[in-house]
Amino acid sequence: MKRKSLNKVLALMLASTMALGLAACGNDDSGKSSDAGSTPAGSSAPTGSTADAANTGSDQASTPAERQTISFSAIDVNAGSNNTGEYAQQILDQIQDYTGVNIDLSWVANDTLEEKNGLYLTSPSTMPNIITWGGTLTGNVASAAKNGAFVDLNDYIWDSEKYPNLSGMAEGVAANLTVDGHLIAIPRTRVVGRNGLSYRTDWAEKLELAEPSTPEAVYDMLYAFTYNDPDGNGQDDTIGMEMTLHTGPFDIIQTWFGCGNGWAEVDGKLVPVWMQDEYMEAVDYIKGLYDDGLMPADWATRPTDTWSDGCKKGENGVFIDVLDSGKRIWNYFVAEETYTPSVVNPDESARMTLYGAVNDRTLATAGYAGYYTLSATTLDTPEKIEAALTLLDKLNDPEMLILTQYGIEDLNYKMEDGYLVKLDQEDKVLSNNYMGLNQLLAFLPSTEAANSYIPLKRNERDQAQEDAYAAALPKAVLNPALSFLANSPTYADDGKTLDDAVTAARTQYICGAITKEQFEQAIQTWRDQGGDKIIEEVNAQFEANK
């Protein structure tokens, strides 16, 4: 189960086919919700809650006589089970009634998102009205924007009367989504201090391991979780760190060594992280984790839709990505249907520690994780554009935030002493009725504001997540070049291809498919084929903005 390294030829194959996505998951190419819904047996439509609020909102909203239909391409993070089940259509109908917009919804797996969206760029007439993108603004999207592929949102969303939620977008985030002065996207807003390291608390207690505050301590924990039988079953059946083809965890690890977030300021100049002295030290550390069998040998071909399953099933003990994923693993341990006892106290459930920053550093988010663009080709009238923006705006109202994330009152949740209490915690089929609809949410004006609308009773897991976010925030390393990259002509044309080549070479080096010299040559090739020009263009803007 624990091999020192992959066969070099296999590693080359894996690296060449590796998808470079954000840490979101899914596996179906697309699918539309079509299950007819009804109210719970023996009851009328839920009252005094989301259902009534939705109908009231619809009555109060100023909607056109004939609804616009908006096609919306969203990320599938639930392996095809999004908005499915007996009440799925009822929930979708409530959203449509509240927003006054008909939704033609399709789902795209995260692992195929880049390819699918790339096809839209080559054939603009096929674009959905609203397209969801992962990660931050890339060169091919910026290039398409320069060619007029997307609606300039500056002409619309700052109208606070029409769009009270969207107009609250942070100026800094808007700047990162602006190309040639045109705001071309709406962010999927996220907490800045969201990334970090989560680990099995009971495994650490059993092996008498302290919180891993340094990279060396993380290595020791991963080694112990791999080779020292942390679950106490006497079998060689654990690997310390969960890992898939999504390489975001490597970017987080790199910050522990002093690397920047994509780019860094070095001696007053902005440079990509692979030009920092600390970069190779960090990559060698990651290669050591791989060589010593502390992550799955086949990580580069593992899809992201089952990413956390290893930790949930007791195969892994460390999860490096967003801290809320650590909480979701902990929720899994606690849930009645999947209850997992602690290895040190069978009378209690297993738990996760959400640690955040190692060496007092972690990777900041961009303030958003993905974004929505509006097609200038298929949204060919002001009425259609306004319908798309109305949909995105109203989805951030409190009623919709609850409906899309918690479902129907008295079916999926109940109100108890003023707090929302989930009823479907252990019923995956029931929760599938609304599952995935959170992928339609921009969480504007901010995630904090959105969370304040949800009257949740905080449990220890919720509090641990909030505490971890707060601790990570002042230690989160930002990308100082983000707003400049989208307006670098060379980056718009070639940046993503060049960056992907370096990331692929990093994978090949970690897996032993190429030598360090070959990896260094790949970095030099990045510079020779346009990287140095990107650095020049980015720094010209950097100097002008000082």
Q: Confidence class of residue 426 from pLDDT cuts 50, 70 and 90?
A: low
Please work out, in degrees rounded to the nearest 5, the angle formed at the alpha carbon of residue 137 by the alpha carbons of 161 and 514. 160
Is the pLDDT assigned to residue 276 strictly greater than 60? yes
335-366 pLDDT per residue, tens:
988 999 999 999 999 999 999 899 999 999 98
**Which sequence spans correspond to the domains of the chain?**
50-192+367-445, 194-244+279-358, 482-544
How far is Cα 362 from Cα 197, in angstroms, rounded to an integer?
Answer: 9
Per-residue DSSP letter, 240:
S
Model confidence pTM above 0.75: no
Whole-number Cα distances in Å, 522 to 17, 113, 285, 503: 17, 26, 19, 10
**Which one-letter amino acid corresponds to residue 510?**
I
15-39 pLDDT per residue, tens:
333 333 333 333 333 333 333 333 3
Is the pLDDT assigned to residue 233 strictly greater than 70? yes
Q: What are phi and psi of 31, to 5 degrees?
A: 180, 150
Q: Give the pLDDT confidence score for residue 79 in this predicted structure.
A: 83
Q: Confidence class of residue 287 from pLDDT cuts 50, 70 and 90?
A: very high
Q: Give the pLDDT confidence score for residue 428 in this predicted structure.
A: 67
Q: Confidence class of residue 8 from pLDDT cuts 50, 70 and 90?
A: very low
pLDDT, greater one: 459 or 333: 333
* Number of other CB atoms surrounding residue 76 within 10 Å: 27
How far is Cα 61 from Cα 205, in angstroms, rounded to an integer?
Answer: 55
How far is Cα 435 from Cα 416, in angstroms, rounded to an integer?
Answer: 23
Is the pLDDT assigned to residue 154 strictly greater than 90? yes
Reported CATH class of domain 50-192+367-445: alpha beta
Q: Give the architecture (CATH level 2) of 194-244+279-358.
A: 3-Layer(aba) Sandwich (3.40)
Q: Answer for the pair 222, 240: CB distance below 8 angstroms, yes or no.
A: yes
How far is Cα 66 from Cα 114, in angstroms, rounded to an integer?
Answer: 34
Q: What is the DSSP string of 157-220?
A: TT-TTT-TTGGG--HHHHHHTEETTEE--EEEE--TT-EEEEEEHHHHHHTTPPP--SHHHHHH
Q: Give the pLDDT confidence score for residue 155 in this predicted structure.
A: 95
SS3 label, residue 105: strand
| CA within 13 Å, CB half, 177 | 31
Are the folds of 50-192+367-445 and 194-244+279-358 the same?
yes
Q: Answer for the pair 151, 379: CB distance below 8 angstroms, yes or no.
A: yes
End-to-end CA distance of the chain: 53
SS3 label, residue 406: helix
